[in-house]
Amino acid sequence: MAEEMDPCSFTSFQKYTTKHLNLRWHLNFKSRIIQGSAALTIEVLEQKLSNLILDTKDLKIFKILVNGQKATFSLGPKHWFKGSPLEITPPFQLERGQQAVVEIFYETCPEASALQWLNPEQTAGKRHPFLFSQCQFIHCRSITPCQDTPAVKQTYYAQVSAPKELIAVMSAICDGDEPDCKDSKQRILQFRQKIPIPSYLIAIVVGALESREIGPRSRLWAEKEAIEKAAFEFAQTETMLKTAESLVGPYLWERYDLLVLPPSFPYGAMENPCLMYVTPTSIAGDRSLADGISHEIAHCWMGNLVTNKTWEHFWLNEGHAVYIERVISGRMYNEKCRQFAAIGGWNYLCDSIKTLGKTNKLTNLVPNLAEVDPDEAFSCVPYEKGFALLYHLEQLLGGQDVFIKFLHAYVWKFAFKSITTDDWKTFLYDYFKDKADVLNKVNWDAWMNTPGMPPAQPQYDTTLADKCTTLSQRWSKAKESELYSFSSADIEEMTPLQLIEFLSQLLLKDPLPLKHVQRMQDVYSFNAVTNMEIRFRWLRLCLRSKWDNAVPLALRMVTEQGRLKFTRPLFRDLYDFTKFRQEAINAYMKYKQSMHPCTALLVGRDLHLLQEELTAAF
Ligand code: BES
Ligand code: ZN
């Protein structure tokens, strides 16, 4: 078989692998720098090894020791998104099976792409600074030299020196603290992750955090101002965990803590082990958006135990997490809810493929990422095409219970490993030996390696979606003279998720005439809605109908929070609203400095202010 490669990494995971990572970090909030060392215990996998390459990005390397002896090293030229390869030559040769400790003394730069350093004014409490990391996909290399590929899994131990008045938490179990004898203003916290994890799951957050127990193995972390509301919103965490365990087996990570990030966090949530991250934009006050938690819970098995070997196989993480997330919602509520979520997912996929273009190779389930920045390739395709495939297989192979048993077996077959789509498929054929004829009917090439919508559209129960479909069709077909027929009663009995679906369906169609959206505001008062998923779709609808009034609201939304899912499309819509293009650009320029580095980069590209070649200098 051809040797697998990770196109996003410089390291050779077939030649050597990291078993353990020992981090010593001194955080300096004033200079926005982490100073410290990383000791990697590596194991040699080939006959003889005379040098090795690690990933780095914007790191200053001072000194490297291998088993305590000085090694020579050189940093290669900086690639615009992969960073620089760090080549290390130990003073002796290593042999197959041998372990060695590679200790690197280094510091990060203030622009490290994994980190956002917030001023006190950018926090809810306004008194203390805040720091958070986001390593997925390939930003871990900007905070520590490592084999920054999901093909490699290591345990880790960290000693973090942080200001005494702040709390530090990591994607690990806290192992105690001690005074920092070198810096009386700081103290050292220790963390231990005993389960081998890929580098993208290393995470650290430091701030004026408070906590509250929300379950027997779950504690909620947030700034004081946010904790009450969040504790209500996420109260069902333990029920979701138990439901997940009943599907895919025991939870191995000991703790499942939740952390609410500042509004600039670029994602909805992130499955960091022992410490799930969640955006404050999913706190609606009525638990309507809390189902995202079950997605992250699903990752504790799908992604964190069984991991995609490279980012080209990302659908293995996300497609399976979405599948399990929806089964959890089916079990906790009812099957109609699962079906409704699946319909929403299919429509989301239609919308994204329309935007990306149906011949765009990045819409393949298994894309080729050579020279592609995974942050830029990110879309709902691995989530929703992946889900559609798994649901399609569920239907072909005998239904939900049969398929869940397969997934249970899949998890424990590949737990602690990193796998490719081929490994998954081989196991599928092996598990369903008796149904090879059924499996052979699947058009694998169309599902996996062809852009655009999947070759088969699954049938879903439309009970909960019907209202949304009927109402969206009424609006898109209505003539101006018929607008009087709409009233607030239309949506009285719709749930927040149904309103989201109603608006999503309208966004799939041609823009509504201006008079229509104005009437919609009169009867439904969407401008006053604070549920961010509803607000986001409503503002997009208005911008696409070129309603001036929506512009200040949209500008407020993109500057008050930084979730990519909302911020990028809104900025793009503002850009396309020619009359306000300059205003959008001005807002971006004004806020760029205080934005998350990934958001600043991607929005800059969307607004055509940055070109790829310029990105390295950004
Ligand atoms: N792992 C992802 C978030 C992610 C993806 C971070 C790619 C960085 C790069 C996480 O599990 C996820 O899918 N989050 C969703 C929310 C979830 C509730 C479906 C998101 O951020 O939209
Ligand atoms: Zn996910």
Q: Cα(535) to centroid of ligand 1, in Å?
A: 20
Q: Mark whether 371 and 261 lie in a shared domain.
A: no
pLDDT at 605: 95
The answer to whether position 197 is within a domain reads yes
pLDDT of residue 130: 98
Alpha carbon of 296 to ligand 2 centroid (Å):
6
Any domain includes 5: no
Which of 200, 277, 383, 588 is catalytic? The answer is: 383
Q: Phi, psi at residue 205, to the nearest 5°?
A: -135, 135
Is position 533 annotated as part of the catalytic site? no
85 alpha carbon – ligand 2 mean position (Å) = 28
**pTM for the full predicted model:** 0.97
Cα–Cα distance for residue pair 257/372, rounded to 1 Å? 33
DSSP per position, 304-338: TTEEESSGGGHHHHHHHHHHHHHHHHHHHT-HHHH
**Is 583 found in the same domain as 483?**
yes
b/e sequence 298-322, b meaning 16+ C-beta within 10 Å = bbbbbbbbbbbbbbbbbbbbbbbbb
Q: What pLDDT is stored for residue 612 in this prediction? A: 57
Same domain as 323, residue 278 = no
pLDDT tens digits, 26-43: 999 999 999 999 999 999
Domain CATH for 29: 2.60.40.1730
Q: Are residues 253 and 265 in the same domain?
A: yes
Q: Is the domain of 493 the same as that of 539? A: yes
Q: Is 565 in the pocket of ligand 1 (CB under 6 A)?
A: yes
Range of the domain at 41: 16-204
Q: Which two tokens mark 373?
A: 């920045």
Residue 558 in domain: yes
- Nearest protein CA to atom 10 of ligand 1, as residue: 270
Tell me: do 199 and 212 sit in the same domain. no
Q: Which one of 239, 274, 300 terminates a domain?
A: 300
Ligand 1 and 299: CB distance under 6 A? yes
CA-nearest residue for atom 22, ligand 1, is 268
67-105 as b/e, with b when 16 or more CB fall inside 10 Å?
eeeebebeeeeeeebbbbbbebebeeebeeeeebebbbb
Give the span between the Cα atoms of 165 and 461, in whole angstroms: 53
Output the CA 165–ligand 1 centroid distance in Å.
31
Q: Are residues 142 and 31 in the same domain?
A: yes
410-440 tens-digit pLDDT: 999 999 999 999 999 999 999 999 999 999 9
| pLDDT band, very low/low/confident/very high, at 615 (cuts 50, 70, 90) | very low
pLDDT mean over 14-32: 98
Under DSSP, is residue 462 helix (H, G, I), strand (E, B) or coil? Answer: coil
Do 339 and 397 fall within a single domain?
yes
- pLDDT for the residue 610: 82
Tell me: do 361 and 293 sit in the same domain.
no
- Residue 479 falls inside a structural domain: yes
**Which string of DSSP letters, residue by residue, matches 132-172?**
EE--TTTTGGGTS-B--STT--EEEEEEEEEETTSEEEESS
Of the residues 273, 300, 327, which one is the last residue of a structural domain? Answer: 300
Classify the phi-psi angles of 220: left when phi > 0, otherwise alpha if psi is within -120 to 50, otherwise beta: beta
Query: What CATH number is given to the structural domain containing 436?
Result: 1.10.390.10
pLDDT in tens, 507-540: 999 999 999 999 999 999 999 999 999 999 999 9
Beta bridge partners of 85: 55
- Residue 578: the pLDDT is 97
Beta carbons of 269 and 292 less than 8 angstroms apart = yes
Binned at pLDDT 50, 70 and 90, residue 2 comes out as low
Token pair belonging to 389:
């495939």
Q: Do residues 526 and 580 both lie within one domain?
A: yes
Is residue 296 in contact with ligand 1, taking CB distance under 6 Å? Answer: yes
Question: How much is the pLDDT for 330?
Answer: 97
Same domain, 601 and 477: yes
**Residue 248 Cα to ligand 2 middle (Å):** 17
Given ligand 1 and candidates 267, 317, 325, which is best to mutate, with the most ligand atoms within 8 Å of its CB? 267
Residue 78: DSSP 8-state:
P
Task: Examine the residue annotation and report whether 16 is marked as an active-site residue of this protein.
Answer: no
Q: Domain containing 600 — which CATH number? A: 1.25.40.320
* Dihedral over alpha carbons 90, 95, 101, 103 (to 10 degrees): 20
Q: Is 266 in the pocket of ligand 1 (CB under 6 A)?
A: no
* Interval 308-323: pLDDT, tens: 999 999 999 999 999 9
Question: Residue whose CA is closest, atom 17 of ligand 1?
Answer: 292
Give the active site residue among 223, 271, 296, 312. 296
The two three-digit tokens of residue 447, written as one number:
């599902």
How do residues 114-134 score in pLDDT, each as one tens digit?
Answer: 999 999 999 999 999 999 999
Q: How many domains, in total, are found in the chain?
A: 4
283 with 352, same domain: the answer is no
Domain boundary pick from 171, 204, 237: 204
User: Residue 26 forms beta bridges with which residues?
Assistant: 35, 161
In a domain, 459, yes or no: no
Asked whether residue 460 is assigned to any structural domain, the reply reads: no
Q: Nearest residue CA, atom 16 of ligand 1?
A: 268
pLDDT the model gives residue 4: 81
Ligand nearest to the CA of 318: 2
Residue 442 in 3-state DSSP? Answer: coil
- CB 256, CB 217: distance < 8 Å: yes
